[in-house]
Amino acid sequence: MDSKKALLVVSFGTSVTQTREKTIAAIERHLAAEFPDRKLYRAWTSGVIRRKLLKTEGLQIDSVAEALDRIAADGAEDLLVQPTHLLDGEENRLMIEAIRAAADRFASVKIGAPLLSTAEDLIAAADIVNEVCPDLGGDELFVWMGHGSAELLDNVYVALNFLYAREGRDNICVGTVEFDPGFAPVEEMIVRRSPRRAYLMPLMVVAGDHAINDMAGDEPDSWKSIIAASGVEPVCILRGLGEIESVQRRYAEHAKNAAAL
């Protein structure tokens, strides 16, 4: 390992311990293995989650600014940053701003892209269904729960629905827990197909609070409960994208592409 070379993996974070190890930590381990010459550092962008974990678990996790201070103090000169963000949204842009503000402390700074950044990324994401639910029957549905955004980034969810429709896979769709398109694509698919069963999985890096509560919770407004009330059997898959090896490899590809620039 070269003490002058650093790899900073930046995540939003999660307070759910079991998914943290399976997703964020798994991505970090994969990236560390792909870049054995770089020292691995971690930063989370959510101050709320960092403070909660410090209070409940005594776990200290750096912010982006704190991680950059630590890396500079360790004497690194060549910095490669790979976010585990799904999209280039507000969290990713704030990360980039913080890194650019500290860029003069390093001889070289490269930043990898979020998971869904190109058309090729979207096609790869659409095919994840084949890995997690390969034997999807004609009377079954597969439903992705995305987070959603107030920005035009929601086009990513629309684009995924378009890809499935174009491929004739009209028993797979993407909805969002916040903002558009919301639950509407799921509801429309249930009405159109009258399925027997629906598999639900978060289109999120971690299977955190949204997945546990909004998707798979027992409250009447959870997606599981709404789908069950329509006469369809819901089956919840509490796996974050970060658990999937093809996703981990995708992040590594983005990091390698950035390092090669």
| Lowest-confidence segment of 41-45, 158-162, 250-254 by average pLDDT | 158-162
CA dihedral 106, 110, 112, 118 (to 10 degrees): 150
Give me the domains of the chain, ranges plus CATH numbers: 5-114+243-259 (3.40.50.1400), 134-236 (3.40.50.1400)
Report d(CA 98, CA 5) in Å as an integer.
19
Collapsing DSSP to helix, strand or coil, 112 comes out as coil
Coil, helix or strand at residue 142? strand
Under the banding of pLDDT at 50, 70 and 90, the label for residue 115 is very high
Q: Residue 149: what pLDDT?
A: 80
Active-site option among 30, 147, 210, 254? 147
Query: What backbone torsions phi and psi does residue 240 show, to the nearest 5 degrees?
Result: -80, 155
Known catalytic residue at 147: yes
Provide the token pair at 3: 């003490």
Q: Under 8 Å CB-to-CB from 11, ≥6 apart: which residues?
A: 24, 27, 42, 43, 44, 45, 83, 84, 85, 205
**In sequence order, which residues have a C-beta less than 8 Å from that of residue 98 and are 6 or more positions away?**
64, 65, 68
* pLDDT at residue 192, as a whole number: 94
d(CA 95, CA 219): 35
Confidence of residue 94 (pLDDT cuts 50, 70, 90): very high
Q: Residue 4: is its pLDDT beyond 60?
A: yes
**Beta strands at 233-236 and 197-202: parallel, antiparallel or unpaired:** parallel
pLDDT confidence of residue 261? 87
Mean pLDDT, residues 208-225: 96
Span 143-186, pLDDT tens digits? 999 998 877 655 889 899 999 999 999 999 999 999 888 999 99
Residue 89: Cβ within 10 Å count: 17
**Is 90 exceeded by the pLDDT of residue 126?**
yes
Question: Tokens 């980039």 map to which residue?
Answer: 96
pLDDT of the residue at 152: 60
Average pLDDT of the residues of the chain: 95
Q: What is the DSSP string of 143-184?
A: EEEE---SSGGGHHHHHHHHHHHHTT-TTEEEEESSSTTTTH
